[in-house]
Structure 1
Amino acid sequence: MWVMSIIGIVWFSLSLIFILAFMDTDVDAAMGWGMLGMLYAIPYAIVGIVTTKKKSKDDSTSMQQLINLNELKEKGILTDDEFQFKKQQILG
């Protein structure tokens, strides 16, 4: 994701420079550079959305596992040591 961000910054900067350079002289070239920028923007946006949703889903799953572990500890099924060990596995 970090690499895609760096590529995106460079790509969009170059696209903007070329769009501004060609805007007065060659409108077709300016539109072409705008389209090239969009070709990168769309997949980048999709990757960002998927990554964010996956991360939030993982966080909620971990939270639910911790809640279930705590319930087992409160019922006396797990000892304190077992609870701490399992908790570290989930969080680690």
Structure 2
Amino acid sequence: MWVMSIIGVVWFSLSLICIFAFADTDIEAAVGWGLLGLAYAVPYAIVGVVTTKKKKETDASSTEELLKLHELKEKNILTEDEFQAKKRAILAK
């Protein structure tokens, strides 16, 4: 998902360059590039960052669940088969 963010930032940067390049000669083209940058690149970058952050939070919670399962297995609360089944379910998420 970081690729989406990078594409968004690059697109927005190119839009800004075009705005400044066309500002003196063709104001309509400058406004068009500005609107493209705002309408496409900024939301694209935001979605990429939010999605990546959400995935990291999910990975952390899966790790915590696996550690808790391991503790239960070590205390003989879960059998080996139960542990493996629950581990597969967590990793399949």
TM-score (norm 2): 0.70
Residue in structure 1 matched with residue 66 of structure 2 by the alignment: 66
Residue in structure 1 matched with residue 41 of structure 2 by the alignment: 41
Matches within 5 A, 1:13-52: 19=18, 23=22, 25-52=25-52
1:28 positional shift: 4.0
Q: Which amino acid aligns with 1:70?
A: H
Q: Which amino acid aligns with 1:77?
A: I
Of 72-81 and 36-45, more deviation after overlay is shown by 36-45
1:66 positional shift: 0.1
- Kindly indicate whether structure 1 or structure 2 has the higher relative contact order, using CA contacts under 8 Å at least 6 residues apart: 2
1:38 positional shift: 2.7
Q: Which amino acid aligns with 1:52?
A: T
CA distance in 2, matches of 1:29, 1:80: 66
Q: Which amino acid aligns with 2:82?
A: E
CA distance in 1, matches of 2:84, 2:26: 66
Task: Give the RMSD, CA atoms, in angstroms.
Answer: 2.4
Moved over 4 A (4+): none
Matches within 5 A, 1:2-17: 12=11
CA distance in 1, matches of 2:67, 2:88: 14
Aligned residues: 80
1:12-38 deviations in Å (ceiling 9; x for gaps): 4xx76xx39x73731442243133223
Q: Which amino acid aligns with 1:76?
A: N
